[in-house]
Structure 1
Amino acid sequence: MWYQVWRTYFQIPILLRLFLTVIFFMIAFGSLMHFIEPDTFITIFDGIWWAMITGSTVGYGDLVPATTLGRVITMVLILGGGGLLTFYMVSISRGAIKWEQDYQKGEISYYKDNHLIIVGWNERSKRLIEMIQEKMSDTSIVLVDESLRSDPVNSKYVHFIKGDPSRDETWQKANISQAKKIMITADQSYSEKEADIHTILLTITARGLHKTIPIFVEILTKDQQVNAERAGATEIICTNISTSTLFFHELTGHRHGDAFKYIMSFLAEQEFSIKQAHENWLGSDFLVITDHLKKEEELLLGVIRDNEMLMNPLSTDKVQKKDHLIIARKISHD
């Protein structure tokens, strides 16, 4: 029986074990002093109070042993209990420092919910995090990257996880089950095709752990967009196509590139949503709907009809049943 109790005791985490040991010694010495000098230490609590103050070497002097035996016990307590309390406080400090170091190294799991998970540290993800913090300052972000040695952001809203995102345990450390959305950026240390294959592998892993979470992925080659959809990506962003378009407009020399820059600046200030058209809008011109949305400080960009996207619909076109409107609204900073 005692062996089992002793074995269980040593299986307890060291800080809790030290705490229980300190409490045991303080109660033991306090109770002993109460029975040795009941006139000075009237209650057991008085004895425990004296033991804590003496063992920590604070020494208020409000309770002082009057007998020789009591003073001998006091010396034993100072030699033994003082060292034990000091060791306990040092262990707490060492544990706090280790936790901070592990946090910076990305070894601490994330336990909160409703957060965004961004995979990959690069200029794109860096700028994305900056924009999220600027526009939605209270949004929590978990950054997952295997190559970094320490947290590159150092923000209370960004939690760094170091690990291989193709492994389940890395996603579990990022608390994928409670996350709101996932953004997987392309790892450009690979060739374009290899980067896309790696992105698709990460998408499969994330989708296997969470069946419904929106997953946004960056794909570099057009050929792999279909495979990314098959892997479970909710939205696919082909950055090379956007970059090529910008290059084309710049090379044509008609200042379309400047317009593209302004559009990108506009997009950064907007939040977008897709809403099903109200029943009382059916048959109405898009011009009427546009005027109505403007009163709500919203901008109609396009419509999704029969799984096709129609941007900037004609003002005389009519709203049809099952139409979904693509709407932009300026991000509120309230």
Structure 2
Amino acid sequence: MHFLLRLSMKLVKMKNTALAIGFIAFVLSASTFAYMIEAETFETWFNSLYFVLTTMATVGYGDYSPSTFPGKVLTIFIYVFGIGLLSLVIGKIIDAVADFNRRREAGRLRYQGKNHVIIVNWSKKAQYAIEEILSTDPNIEVVIIDEIDKHPYDKPKIHFISGDPSSIDILEQADIKNARSAIVFADARIDEPALVDGKSLLLASTIESIAPKVHTTVEIMMEKHIQNFKHVKVNDFVLSHDAVSRLAVRSALNEGSLDIFTQLLSRQKGADVYHVTIRPEWKTYEDAFLALIKQGATLVSNKSDMTINTKLNQPIPTDAKLFAICDGEVYKKINNVV
């Protein structure tokens, strides 16, 4: 009994790899011995393997059973030691799955993927941003980076990295170099706006230093700080309270226009602004405008230039990036998106 107890303790402490090798070796050896002893009973080695596994699993269908004394002794050995070994393996698997889930919830797992969107600093705004991203494309994966110790939004396609987002190690855990874009939200836990923008500037500069090709969008609390962010080549800026104030003014001065802006800000319903791939046959803005109109889309800008409807006869520049307003189905048809 003492021997069995000591053996059990050693097996429990055994590393997973060694246990897996031992389990496979036990099954293969037992199957080989069973076939050598009861060749007429099992007929093939695979049948003896099947017999060993069903015996270890305590199923015992009875379609194969040893008829000789050595075969019955081996069966008792398989039953006594095999069940314990199999139970130990199953327990290890359960522990490994539980440990994986704990580490995932705590944000300790490295993200493995490409073309994902990284969200830095968790907040209600970040949650709305994730919901908007997934409503746009349900296949996009999102990685949240924050210093909290528990997954804030545990849903499919959402990964969490716990740690200081200004740390290069943490950004590399989120695979920043292979990300599609990164959005840095203002840290709502800091009260002073200047300090909030200071932290955002640090985060943006860290991202740009190791992943300059990643499109970076930063939420800024104070407009006067935009110049500081331009030095680190941030792609886009969002003033924290600017959008709300401007929408309120639009509503007050242009009654009914708020619904238009709200719809363009959300891809969950109606039309939206989409990037349009330029076709070789489009030589001028007019060519693109007419072609898109026929498909149900309206050409509105080249990058930030929204005056292209006043220069339709001009050729489309080689570095142009055209945007049109349409619904999702029309966009898929125009850009051949599956």
TM-score range normalised by the length of the shorter chain: 0.7 to 0.9
Query: 1:234 is aligned with what amino acid?
Result: N
Going from structure 1 to structure 2, the CA distance change for 1:104 and 1:321 (only over 3 Å counts) comes to: closer
2:5 alignment counterpart: none
Going from structure 1 to structure 2, the CA distance change for 1:81 and 1:241 (only over 3 Å counts) comes to: same
- Asked if 1:132 corresponds to 2:133, the answer is yes
Percent of residue pairs identical: 22
Alpha-carbon contact 2:282-2:288 (below 8 Å) kept: no
2:162 alignment counterpart: 162
Equivalent runs, 1:72-91 vs 2, <5 Å: 72-91=73-92
Q: CA deviation at 1:103?
A: 2.4
Cα distance in 1 for partners of 2:84, 2:52 equals 13
Equivalent runs, 1:19-98 vs 2, <5 Å: 19-98=20-99
Going from structure 1 to structure 2, the CA distance change for 1:209 and 1:239 (only over 3 Å counts) comes to: same
Equivalent runs, 1:291-310 vs 2, <5 Å: 293-302=292-301
Q: CA deviation at 1:158?
A: 2.1
Query: 2:106 is aligned with what amino acid?
Result: K
1:327 alignment counterpart: 323
TM-score with structure 1 setting the length: 0.78
Cα distance in 2 for partners of 1:147, 1:258 equals 41
Alpha-carbon contact 2:220-2:237 (below 8 Å) kept: yes
- Asked if 1:270 corresponds to 2:272, the answer is yes
SS at match of 2:200: helix
Equivalent runs, 1:221-240 vs 2, <5 Å: 221-240=222-241
Going from structure 1 to structure 2, the CA distance change for 1:261 and 1:219 (only over 3 Å counts) comes to: farther
1:114 alignment counterpart: 115
SS at match of 1:40: helix
Q: CA deviation at 1:52?
A: 1.9
1:149 alignment counterpart: 150
Alpha-carbon contact 2:110-2:161 (below 8 Å) kept: yes
Aligned residues: 311
Cα distance in 2 for partners of 1:325, 1:74 equals 73
TM-score with structure 2 setting the length: 0.77
Q: CA deviation at 1:117?
A: 1.4
Q: CA deviation at 1:99?
A: 1.9
SS at match of 1:231: coil
Query: 2:167 is aligned with what amino acid?
Result: R
Q: CA deviation at 1:332?
A: 0.9
| Contiguous gaps of at least 5 residues in structure 1 | 1-9
C-alpha RMSD of matched pairs (Å) = 3.3
Alpha-carbon contact 2:298-2:326 (below 8 Å) kept: no
Alpha-carbon contact 1:214-1:234 (below 8 Å) kept: yes
Q: CA deviation at 1:112?
A: 2.2
Query: 2:261 is aligned with what amino acid?
Result: I
SS at match of 2:231: helix
| Contiguous gaps of at least 5 residues in structure 2 | 1-10, 333-338
2:211 alignment counterpart: 210
